[in-house]
Structure 1
């Protein structure tokens, strides 16, 4: 199969449409629905008819989720993609649906990133294709908005096989250093 950079515009569009359809089918086959923002992941799990909170065993640990009917079937279980801030996360039941609001630990340490899946054994989504809604982007504070814009730029650069903003910054710093020190030999210099 041809790599994407060797495909024609039409072949690339057909390939991307096929990948989106495959990804969507995989996500629809999951027993739950999920969505995410930079700092949170929301997971909605339909429950068997008549199930109440007291009928469930719910485990929400730093890196693990489990939902089982007491004395019955396990509805969801697995390792989370990344740590969550357990004390800032919650779950509720409303109209027969259990909903988790998981606070990404990465958001607490200022290292925002998109999750490719909720549970590590589930199919992944292509996080380079995530486009935050423009209206929501404008609602973000300046620092968070700059971080999201940087992530979007870096994803687009990687897709195009071009250097990310950090790599560009390193190349510019090296060029500046070369100009300041013309007496030095940089022929074996490596970026890393």
Structure 2
């Protein structure tokens, strides 16, 4: 059931008409996807992930991305993979359920998209807490509450 509530589209950050990266989120993680040039192998990449910052690129070049994250993560539980020409960073949120307005600081989605993300994450939380119910068709009237804080907060495990 939770799969029904997963993001259908990734958010794209573009610069001068070129997609720099795409990202999506769940209650517990943020995923960043970056297409790498054809033929690049994992051992050629450098990826540094800290609780507040990511830096990555192809050795020996300067970083392709070197930015603060928009929120804190658990760096020790986060990792990256390279598959089919896509670098995938899977970042474990420090505050499970906290909706992110962007993966990287300064790259915020618009307010309507941010509200949709908050609603989707709240429904994902309800689905996780009540697996016998189907919330896939549920809708909110007005602004959705923060999924991390609503009704006393959520279990962070």
Which category describes the TM-score, using the shorter chain as reference length? 0.5 to 0.7
2:21 to 6, 9, 32: 32
Larger Rg over CA atoms? 1
* Partner residue in 1 for 2:104: 119
CA offsets, 1:46-85, max 9 Å, x none?
Answer: 0011111111111111100111111124222200011101
2:129 to 141, 148, 158: 141
Identify if the C-alpha distance between structure 1 residues 153 and 140 changes in structure 2 by more than 3 Å, giving closer, same or farther: farther
Unmatched tracts of structure 1, length 5 or more: 1-23, 146-151, 158-164, 167-192
1:77 to 53, 57, 66: 66
Identify if the C-alpha distance between structure 1 residues 123 and 87 changes in structure 2 by more than 3 Å, giving closer, same or farther: same
CA offsets, 1:128-165, max 9 Å, x none?
Answer: 222428985664124xx9xxxxxx678348xxxxxxx8
Q: Which has the higher helix share?
A: 1
2:112 is the counterpart of 1:128 = no
Q: After TM superposition, where is structure 1 displaced by more than 4 Å over at least 4 residues in a row?
A: 133-138
Q: Which has the higher strand share?
A: 2
* Partner residue in 1 for 2:94: 105
Query: Once superposed, what is the RMSD of the aligned Cα atoms?
Result: 3.3
- The two structures have a TM-score, normalised by structure 2, of 0.66
- The two structures have a TM-score, normalised by structure 1, of 0.55
CA distance in 1, matches of 2:67, 2:120: 27
CA offsets, 1:95-148, max 9 Å, x none?
Answer: 1111011110012xxxx2110001112233422222428985664124xx9xxx
**Is 1:78–1:121's contact at 8 Å kept on the other side of the alignment?**
no
